[in-house]
Structure formats: C-alpha cells, structure tokens
Chain A
Amino acid sequence: MKMKNLAAVAVAATLGAAPVMADLVIPDLSYRTGPYAAGGTPFSDGYQDYFNMLNARDGGIGGEAVRVLECETGYNTEKGVECYEATKGEGALIYQPLSTGITYQLIPKATADGIPIHTMGYGRTSAANGEVFNWTFNYPANYWDAASVMVNYLLDENEGSLEGKNIALLFHNSAYGKEPIRTLETLAEKHGFTFTQLAVDHPGQEQKSQWLRIRRERPDYILMWGWGVMNQVAIQEAVNIGYPMDQFIGNWWSGAEHDVTPAGAGADGYLSLNMNRIGDLPVFEDIKTLVHDAGNTAGDGSNFGNVLYTRGMYAAMLGAEAIAKAQEIHGVADVTAAMVRDGMEALDITDARMEELGMAGVGPAFSVSCQDHGGSGLGIVQQWNASEGKFVALTDYIAPDDSVTLPLIMEDSAAFAAENNIEPGCL
C-alpha cells in the first residue's frame, strides 16, 4: 500500500513538473550575501522583477512563462561555477554571472555545453569578437569601451587635447581591475598624457597609501575601476584630501548610489560612467503595479529604480528580447539555449523598440552580429547630486575610439583562439 502511494505521488509529481519543464528557464547567479551584496542585490532585484513583470503582464515571452532560478554565488568564483553546474540541467537558456571571475571560468564550460553567456559591461573584453567567442556576448559595451569613453569625455573637457596631463587609474588589483590598463596605455601614447597606475588590494578597505600618493602627485584626473567597498573608501578618501570630485570618474561599476552616500555631501559632483540611463521610465509603472504591489518582488523593494536595479532590469530586457528574437527566427515559443544564442546574434535594439517597451533611451541603439558581440560601446557620464540624492546624466551617449579598441580586441581574441585551438568563424 505504501509503495502504491509512493508511486502515485511520484507520478503526480512528474505530471505536475511537466509543464514547468516547458518554461523558459533563466538562471540568476546573484549575490545577496557577503562583501559585494550591496552591488549584487539591486542588480538581481531588477533582473528578476522584469521577468516577473513579463509573466504577469504578457504571460511570459511569446506566451511561454519565464522561470527564474536564483542561485547565490556570494561573488565567489567557485560558488559561481557550482551554481552554473547546478542549474544548467534545468534547461538554462542564458547566463548573466555579474562577475568577471565567474565569467572567465564559464566561458569554456558554456561553450562546451552550448549555452550563451551575456556579460554586459564586464567579463572578458575580447569576447566582443563573436567569431572566436561564439557563445559569449558582452553588448552593449565592454571595459575597453569604458576606458575609451572616459578619455573621449576628458578630451571634450580639454578642448580636444590631453597633452601633458597626468591621468591616474585607481584599480582593484584583480583581473577585473587590470582590464583597462592596456587600452589606457595605448590611449596615453596616442593623446600624449601621462598614465599612472595605482593598484588597490582586495577588498579595498584600506587605501591610505594610494591617496597620499595622489595628494603628492596631484594627477589632473583619476579614473577608477572599483567594486564593493573599494568604491566607498576611495570616494571618502578623495573627499578627505580635498580632491576635486568633478575630476574623479568611476567606471559603471563604481557609480551606484551606495558608492557615494557614505561620503555624504562631500561626494557631491562625483562622476561616473553608465551604460544605461536612469530615471522615470514608463516600464517602472508596470513593474510597480504587477510585481511590487502584487507582493511578487525579488527583494524588499528598497532598490526600486536605482542605478543597479535599472541596469539589472535593462539586462533582463536584453535577455527577453534575445529570446523573442529566437522565437521569431525558429518559429517556436519553447526555444533552446542554442536558439537563444541565434537570437542574441541577431539582436537589433532600436530606439523605437525601447520606446515600445517603456524604456525610451535606457540604452543606446545597437545591433549584434556574428562578428560583433560587443554592441555599440557607448556610455554616458553621470554626476552625483548629493542634495537630491541621485545621479544626473551629464552627457549624451559618448562613442569609444574604435580605432584603438578594435585592434586590441582582435589581437587578444586571436591569441585566445591560438591558445585554445579555435578556428574563428560563425556558427
């Protein structure tokens, strides 16, 4: 009798699980705990809330419900790989690891498993060459674009010349932090500025030496490649030594509200890049009504609309659009990971489409191709307004210097292809 009951339960469970297997499975490799939780949480909230909104409003994507599988990585590379291994068998369609370290580990694994990775504005920069990295996409922009956009902004500020200027890079002493060095060395040679490197060890809680050196050498500008506590401490130290905030520019991982608030009013005027605009977008109304008010939000709602929440939502939108494109190309709603890769490679994000989605101007218009997995590379410069407690866009989208970044991407990806016996080409 007992065995019969067990068998009945097993059959019922299988039948019950069957429709779930047909869902569009999107793993969310999040980090809501540990030293980097303050950055990981809002991104994950935005990422999940957007998919939840699509489920509530449109019944998912193309009529197929989205099932988000959250897995906590703690921003730890080993745990990130474990999360990947634990979720890929569920029918994962696309991964967004939000960690350069995890990305580096997943590139060969996901390539072998045939699952696309989207690393927007982080990860391996040369993955922009889609002929070598068939399964990795880093649109709409990458680190080298960011470095170039910063320099182009400074060129604008200095009437087109940086000759004789001293620009320092304050960077997290890790693979992530070292990413822009080569680009900035090339740009320094091209534009005649002195390039100084200031490494900060993990986690970045103590930076006195670096800031005493900055105080002594007085660079004209400081660019920052930080994440986590390094950002808050750097901004506080800059305030302490009286470094002009409008000459201090963080990249897009050093420009969220929680990076500047601990420094209080002193952080007013701090600059940072952003790959997406923030502000009141019509789509927020749908998320608020259908997700937050319905008690279906991923977090506690406190991050709603902030910089990293918006970026997570933007990432989800790009993922959803790729799935929709895959459905269109292959004529089926229940797409596979390989089909989603095709959708990502055929993605065309236009201004009209973003407006239709209630996100007018949230990102730059761009298209993806087999050769170019990197998007347009455009970024805006935003400025912190301490009295209003928000970042305000200071510029329109600024283009990177492709004549510098593209040869570097081709060189690095060619080296990767040679090391790994990859024959470049389209799938």
Chain B
Amino acid sequence: MSTEFLYFVEVLINGLMAGVMYSLVALGFVLIFKASGIFNFSQGVMALFAALTLAGIMEGQVPFAHIINSIFGTNIHHFGWHVPAVLAIILTVFVMIGFAWAVQRFVFRHLVGQEPIILFMATIGLAYFLEGLGDIMWGSDIKTLALGLPQGGARWLEDATAGLGGDDFYGFFIDKLDMVATVVAAVLVTALILFSQYTKHGRAMRAVADDHQAALSVGISLNFIWILVWSLAGFVALVAGIMWGAKSGVQFSLSLIALKALPVLMLGGFTSIPGAIVGGLIIGMGEKVFEYMIGPMVGGATENWFAYVLALLFLVFRPQGLFGERIIERV
C-alpha cells in the first residue's frame, strides 16, 4: 500500500477519535435541549467547573480559600490530604447534582413559560456566573488530573503496522487517551439510551421531551425531571472535562470546548443522542481530512472554520440536522 494512502487512513482514524471527544461535549447540550427546549450555553463551562471541582477535591484544596484568607487573615490553601480518584469523582457528581438543583430552584423555576430566547439568555448568564464561581472556589491556576488515564501513542499498533508501507511510513499513530474516550463515549451513550428506554424516570424524561403539558397531566413532576436532566448533563460535562482536562490540564480554556460541539449539534441535530455521536464523527473526520489535504495549500489552521462550513452545508439540506426531529408547523 502506498505511504500516502496509509497516512490518509491514519488521519481518518484520528479524525474519528477527535470527533468522539467533540461528541462528549455535544451530548450534554442534547440532553438538556431534548428535555426542556433550552439551548444550554453554559455546557462548556459546566465541563470546566466539573473538572475544576474534581481536581480541587483530589488535591485536597480548600474551596474559597482566597476569600476565607482575606476575611479571617488566615493562610490556608489545602486540607493536607489527597482524595482517591473514585471518591473524588463521586463527590464531584454530588456537587453537579447540587448545581442542577440550584439551577432549577433559583433560575429556571422562575422562567417557566418564557420564550426560548429568554431561557437561552439565562444560560449565558449562568455560564459567566459558573466561570466566576469556579475561579473563586478553586483558583485560576492549571491543575493536573492524576487519574492514571493512559496517554501517548499505542506503540504496539505502531510496531504492528509499520511494515504496511515504505520506509517513510512509521505505523499508525493513535493516542491511547482517544481510545479510552471512545470506549467511555460508547458506554455513556449505551447507558443513556438504556436509561431513557427502560427506566421509569427515563420514560418520564422522554414524555417531558415530547410534550410538557401531557406529561404534567399524567402526574410527572417537571421540576424533578429537569433536575434529573441537568444532573445527567452535569455528569456528561464531568466526563468531557476529564477527557479534555487530561490532555491539557484543567484550565479555564476548557470552557471553549463548547465551540467544538456547536457544529456537531448543527449536523447531528439538537435532540438526538446518536446524532451527537454521528455528528461528532463526521465533523472530526471532515475537518482532519480537509486540514490534511487542503490545509497546507492555504496556510493551515482550517479546522475551526471548516467544521462550521461542513455543518452549514448539512443545515442547508436538512435544517433539523441528520437525526433531529422533523420540524412540522401546522396552521
């Protein structure tokens, strides 16, 4: 096989893997939009906040240390212990559930029946609030997530495939972290689908997504379901935060990963969990192949804008996205 072709395949595989990482972020958007019709602008910041909380708990950091020290003249920063990863993840999940409750109790409960644009604006406010809260609670320094996730190229794969091409082919490179992310995404999506299909609360969630009024009339608590959905989105945000944070350390630029999820949502649809995955795969693959083939001719750095061009192309022919619900207006 020609070396060029093999490298093309390598780019393709890595594009798919990158797409999975984008899907992890997009999933949180889908969950909330599907159940409540809210486009949650703060999903990226939720990933950041969840990862900051996890890292802070693991390191035994004192939350709000800066404020405590300013008020009481103390100089405390750490409790002096380190929390094991599993326990820290569980505690972080509880924090995200608490956050979901607070969002519902103090924000969206007061906005029931408002226009979607008002709800969207509320999530913008929420994003900035959460970013500030994360900063005050845990500080703005970069934190390392010591979860023991494997990183680096899979050498066995490189060695096994090095002989496929000529001397200038070095074997397929696939990052082990991307492999883990793929497995995690698969498990997550399967679990979410099983939850929504086969559990009482899952079915209630789907009922709310279909018709709020009808769901209310059969005794489903909208309040509970929305807390549940925001909690699930918080959990998905934590998973996304862990995967992205493992690459770069946990830092405030993590909130910008939401920008990578938008074209995925445009393409896959805002209401479909499988759509978020397929959309991610198409965007990841498309942008990487374009950068590989056309990037060097136009000065590179094409990925950010090409993802949106690709999504727009799909949008023109299928406005609801590949897997989104068909928009039918009856007059």
Contact = CB atoms under 8 A, between A and B. Distances in A.
Interface stretch (B103-111, B137-145, B203-211): B137-145
Contacts of A208: 14-15, 18, 175, 288
Interface string A179-218: 0000000000000000001111111111011101101100
B142 A38 contact: yes
Contacts of A233: 247-248
A357 interface: no
B303 interface: yes
A170 to B, nearest CB: 10
A228 interface: yes
B140 A201 contact: no
B248 A236 contact: yes
Given A209-B291, A212-B11, A261 B144 contact: yes
A203 B135 CA distance: 19
Interface string A221-264: 00000001100110010011110000000000000001001101
Contacts of A262: 142, 144, 248-249
A404 interface: no
B68 to A, nearest CB: 11
Interface stretch (B86-94, B188-196, B292-300): B292-300
B288 A197 contact: no
B153 A240 contact: yes
B248, B256, B299 pick with most chain A CB within 10 angstroms: B248
A78 B139 CA distance: 24
Nearest to A256: B142
A33 interface: yes
B28 to A, nearest CB: 17
A35 interface: yes
Contacts of B18: 206, 208
Contacts of A295: 73
Contacts of A228: 253
A355 B173 CA distance: 51
Contacts of A261: 142, 144, 249
Contact-size category for A: 35 or more
Interface in B1-41: 7, 10-11, 14-15, 18, 21
A261 B249 CA distance: 8
Contact of A32 (B15, B21, B140, B153): B140
The B contact surface, by secondary structure, is: helix
Given A201-B303, A209-B303, A212-B10, A229 B73 contact: no
B255, B291, B296, B301 pick with most chain A CB within 10 angstroms: B301
B65 interface: yes
A362 interface: no
Given A33-B132, A216-B7, A205 B253 contact: yes
B113 interface: no
A37 interface: yes
A209 B11 contact: yes
Interface in B79-131: 131
Given A240-B175, A300-B69, A264 B144 contact: yes
Given A201-B304, A215-B173, A209 B251 contact: no
B257 interface: yes
A206 B260 contact: yes
B256 to A, nearest CB: 5
Contact of B256 (A38, A203, A215): A203
Nearest to B4: A216
B244 interface: yes
Contacts of B251: 35, 37-38, 229, 232
B77 A205 contact: no
Interface in A255-303: 258, 261-262, 264, 266, 295, 300, 302
B66 interface: yes
A34 interface: yes
Interface in B226-266: 244, 247-249, 251-257, 260
Nearest to A38: B142
A34 B69 CA distance: 22
Given A38-B251, A229-B253, A197 B299 contact: yes
A390 B288 CA distance: 36
Given A32-B140, A201-B301, 20 more contacts: A33-B131, A36-B253, A37-B135, A41-B141, A201-B303, A206-B21, A206-B303, A209-B303, A212-B7, A212-B11, A215-B170, A228-B253, A229-B248, A232-B248, A233-B248, A242-B153, A261-B142, A266-B152, A300-B77, A302-B141
8 contacts: A199-B300, A212-B7, A212-B14, A236-B247, A240-B151, A258-B141, A264-B144, A300-B66
